[in-house]
Amino acid sequence: MDLQQMRYVIAVAETRNFTRAAERCFVVQSALSHRVAALERELGVKLFARTSRRVELTAAGEAFLPAARQSLEAADRAAAEAAAAVGVVRGRLAVGVIPTVAAIDVPAVLRVFRERHPEVRISLRVAASDELTAQVVAGDLDVAALGLPEGDRPRGVRARLLARDRLVAVVPEGHPLAGRARVGLARLAEETFVDFPAGTPGRAQSDRAFGEARLTREVAFEVLAPDLMVRLVRQGLAIALLPSAVAAGLPGLATVPVTGGPRRVEYLVWSEFNPTPATTAFLRTLEEHGRDAGTQ
């Protein structure tokens, strides 16, 4: 058994197709099929149930897959640690961000990071703050940028405060609130809202503010993607509460400061448990980028 065979098995399991698995692994299908069959003979079990149209993991394959993934991750980590010992950063970096990240210019930071460490493979995931935190704790993500209601702190991870921001009301340009110097929560409660899904930290920021003011509001649309949220507001279907850094300069929309409105805090989080060389290098790059931005 070797690592390449494990890679082939994982590719087949994830694509459920030998042809697509071969394309992913940059190998001809006959070679991939031969290596998988050889592994099955060595193990004495079938890892896949196959027909001409369908491929599925067997019970043995399901049992084999988690340890195979762990073995590949350990091998990648060993190679990265060896390279780091001589000053070369390799391996994988998994970065998570909330849809409304504003405190970090993610593409700009990644450009600098890639210039310094071109051999690191980078994956990006966009999700809600609670999901990203759980993935960092589980080791599925190396670092993540979160947005939490003021007063909440990330749990189970190391955290660095990035920025604080107030949420502003986002309305169409022709809306009665457009052009106001400020608006209160009581007036906003008369409107129909589009907001993040219930139960997410992004939604909690606004829900808490209205709850503390003993006000109720109608959230007619629940959306995770801010661009779709903005399009609904632009159509006059609802108004939204978004961080001022995100809402600034949106065409066709007006923003109004909210008296007693919600506040959010952005954090960068990572696991304290044995960070990879790529993670350490990314944190260093981010810190330097932040200092450079602060001096401009």
Instruction: Give 15-32 pLDDT, tens digit per residue.
Output: 999 998 998 888 899 999
What per-residue confidence (pLDDT) applies to 288? Answer: 85
Question: Which SS3 state, helix, strand or coil, does residue 65 take?
Answer: helix
Q: For the chain, what is the largest distance between any 2 Cα atoms, rounded to a whole number of angstroms?
A: 74
CB 74 within 8 A of CB 121: no
Nearest to 264 by CA among 70, 129, 89: 129
Residue 52 is encoded by which pair of tokens?
Answer: 């001409």
Length of the chain counted residue by residue:
296
What per-residue confidence (pLDDT) applies to 293? Answer: 47
Q: How far apart are CA 275 and CA 271, in angstroms?
A: 7
What per-residue confidence (pLDDT) applies to 274? Answer: 78
CB 229 within 8 A of CB 99: no
For the chain, list the domains and their CATH numbers.
3-85 (1.10.10.10), 91-162+266-295 (3.40.190.10), 164-264 (3.40.190.290)
What is the per-residue pLDDT across 219-252, written as a single tens digit (0 to 9) for each?
Answer: 999 999 999 999 999 999 999 999 999 998 899 9
- The percent helix, strand, coil of the chain (3-state, each to 5) is 45, 25, 30
Q: How far apart are CA 171 and CA 180, in angstroms?
A: 11
Q: Return the bridge partners of 263, or none.
A: 166
Q: How far apart are CA 119 and CA 77, in angstroms?
A: 13
Q: Tell me the residue type at 59.
A: A
What per-residue confidence (pLDDT) applies to 87? Answer: 60
CA–CA–CA angle 244, 249, 252 (5° rounding): 115
What per-residue confidence (pLDDT) applies to 291? Answer: 55
DSSP class of 172: E
User: Positive or negative CA dihedral for 228, 234, 239, 243?
Assistant: positive
What per-residue confidence (pLDDT) applies to 43? Answer: 92
State the 10-residue block means of pLDDT for the chain, 296 residues long.
88 90 88 93 92 87 90 76 65 91 92 91 92 90 94 92 94 94 96 95 94 96 94 96 91 94 94 86 86 46
Q: How far apart are CA 75 and CA 179, in angstroms?
A: 59
